[in-house]
Amino acid sequence: ERLGAFGPDGVLVQRSVAGPLAMVQAVFARGELTAFHACQRVREGASGGASHKLGLDLPEAREHMARLGAALDWHGALFADVIIGPDGPRFIDINPRLVEPANALASGVDLTWALLEVARAPARSGSVPPQPIAVPGVRTHQLLLAVLGAAHQGGRRAVARELVHAVLHRGEYRGSREELTPGRGDPLAPLPVMVIALATLIRPDAWRRFIGGSAGAYSLTPAAWRRIRRAAES
């Protein structure tokens, strides 16, 4: 009320849906679906990010995305957060971009390459070759997000436990691949994880400094929305 959110423009109310969160991604070439992948957020890291993912087979979500892309004659990428409820997938957020495509790549779907092919398509003739169907059940993780989440949720002991499980490939790290900072082929890649792990072991609340303000840099405030409305009406 203090921010003026309950003004003449009204509010949006959503009904809660119980179920795991899934992330679905698609690439379209002039309305034709050329690549698709879905994965479940197995564990939540810092600020709601997915520290651990599991590749899924979601034909119903694929059908919804294909229909949406065809109706829009979409040329590019679409990403959506989906709640897998008892009555099927429920879409809660859609964005015109790719988000963390590493699980898709590990599952056999190269979303980035598909998007590059789509970007080149207007300058050449012929259709964009489709990507193969993803192999479900592939596990990936981002240790950096997991460490930040452990510091937030459990403190110093949780961070230490997370690092031990990751090094020994225990629990949810068993059979899982690192997405963000793989050491193989790039020995400097794990350096950010080492720095954050050391910082949070010394001072667990340091996690705030690494993620604070990230959403605030691009989130839409009520005041900004009113400004957009005024500009559109003028």
Strand partners, 219: none
- So what's the pLDDT on residue 122? 67
- So what's the pLDDT on residue 48? 75
pLDDT for residue 121 is more than 90: no
- So what's the pLDDT on residue 123? 57
pLDDT for residue 130 is more than 80: yes
What is the per-residue pLDDT across 45-88, written as a single tens digit (0 to 9) for each? 877 789 999 999 999 999 999 999 999 999 999 999 999 999 99
Sorted by sequence, the CB contacts under 8 Å of residue 63 that are 6+ apart come out as: none
pLDDT for residue 125 is more than 60: no
- So what's the pLDDT on residue 99? 92
Give the pLDDT band (50/70/90) at residue 126.
low
What's the CA gap between 179 and 111, in Å, rounded? 14
What's the CA gap between 145 and 135, in Å, rounded? 24
Burial class (CB in 10 A: 0-12, 13-18, 19+), 201: middle
Q: What angle do CA 154, 159, 160 make, to 5 degrees?
A: 125
CA distances from 221 to 12, 48, 216, 224, 226 (A): 14, 20, 9, 5, 9
Q: What angle do CA 182, 119, 180 make, to 5 degrees?
A: 10
- So what's the pLDDT on residue 176? 96
What's the CA gap between 105 and 141, in Å, rounded? 13
What's the CA gap between 132 and 110, in Å, rounded? 9
What is the per-residue pLDDT across 18-33, written as a single tens digit (0 to 9) for each? 999 999 999 999 999 9
Which token pair is 227?
């400004």
CA distances from 234 to 5, 104, 202 (A): 22, 44, 54
What's the CA gap between 199 and 151, in Å, rounded? 10
pLDDT for residue 147 is more than 90: yes
Region 104-124: what's the mean pLDDT? 89
Burial class (CB in 10 A: 0-12, 13-18, 19+), 144: buried
Q: Hey, is 18 helix, strand or coil? A: coil
What is the per-residue pLDDT across 177-232, written as a single tens digit (0 to 9) for each? 999 898 888 889 889 999 999 999 999 888 888 876 556 666 777 788 888 888 98
Strand-strand pairing, 50-56 and 32-44: antiparallel
Average pLDDT, the chain: 89
- So what's the pLDDT on residue 124? 55
Say which residue, 83 or 123, is predicted with more confidence. 83
Whole-model pTM? 0.83
- So what's the pLDDT on residue 216? 63
Which token pair is 20?
């795991």
CA distances from 154 to 41, 48, 197, 214 (A): 19, 15, 14, 22
Strand partners, 177: 140
